[in-house]
Chains A and B, each alone.
Chain A
Amino acid sequence: EADIYQTPRYLVIGTGKKITLECSQTMGHDKMYWYQQDPGMELHLIHYSYGVNSTEKGDLSSESTVSRIRTEHFPLTLESARPSHTSQYLCASSPHGGSAKNIQYFGAGTRLSVL
């Protein structure tokens, strides 16, 4: 069973606020990912990391930023939230090698509403 945690689960904030979405995993996985998911739509990769101090932008452009200072922690930050950022954000992780290296394990998600 995967152990990957996201907090908060739900967040409602006003425009212009700075927010950080937390994601932690206890599996020692090297690779971590952030996806954005709008209702009825596919998941879009917005950030990924293949290890400490490694971060890359994903396929979908995002105004958010990420950091990877510790293996288990991959927070996502929005410096100034806008209504267009309203969405569900899903964090995932996967191991570096072996037969499971392509399998991603997901957290429960953070549903963000910006008013």
Chain B
Amino acid sequence: AQSVTQLDSQVPVFEEAPVELRCNYSSSVSVYLFWYVQYPNQGLQLLLKYLSGSTLVKGINGFEAEFNKSQTSFHLRKPSVHISDTAEYFCAVSASNFGNEKLTFGTGTRLTIIP
């Protein structure tokens, strides 16, 4: 089984400042990793994913994340945030072996951008 830990439940950041949202996972098998964003009263939208290859992945809206296998982390970063980035961000993991594609989500991090 997999688990995900998002240590920060809320992160306030000034507009145009950089941000990092932390995500750590545990798994006994190889994994795929995802970041989803949820805007108020909306469903989840995929920000970016790590399936294989380069450990630095780029997503939509200027976000990127780095897969670090030794530290079992997949932190999300953006060099300069905007008011429109205010949302809830969820890290998720699934096992990479076929037939076991269920996602396990973290508890989410609420990103608030301060004007």
Which A residues have a C-beta under 8 Å from some C-beta of B?
A: 6, 31, 33, 40-43, 45, 48, 58-59, 90, 92, 94, 99, 101-109, 111
- Select which of B41, B101, B107 is within 8 A of A94 by beta carbon: B101
Inside 8 A of B107's CB, which chain A residues have their CB? 40-42
**How many residues of B are in contact with the other chain, CB < 8 A?**
23
Inside 8 A of A31's CB, which chain B residues have their CB? 101
Decide yes or no: A42 and B101 within 8 Å by CB, A90-B43, A106-B44 being known contacts.
no
How many pairs, one residue from A and one from B, have CB atoms within 8 Å of each other in the complex?
55
Beyond A90-B44, A103-B46, A108-B41, 15 extra complex contacts between A and B, CB < 8 Å: A40-B9, A40-B108, A40-B110, A41-B108, A43-B90, A43-B103, A43-B105, A48-B102, A99-B51, A102-B32, A102-B101, A104-B46, A107-B43, A109-B43, A111-B41
A112 to chain B, nearest CB (A): 14
B115 to chain A, nearest CB (A): 24
Interface 1/0 per residue, B98-115 and A, CB below 8 Å = 000111011110100000
Quick check: B105 and A103 within 8 Å, CB to CB? Answer: no
A103 to B102, CA, bound (A): 10
**Chain B residue with Cβ nearest A104:** B103
**Chain B residue with Cβ nearest A45:** B102
Quick check: A102 and B108 within 8 Å, CB to CB? Answer: no
A96 to chain B, nearest CB (A): 9
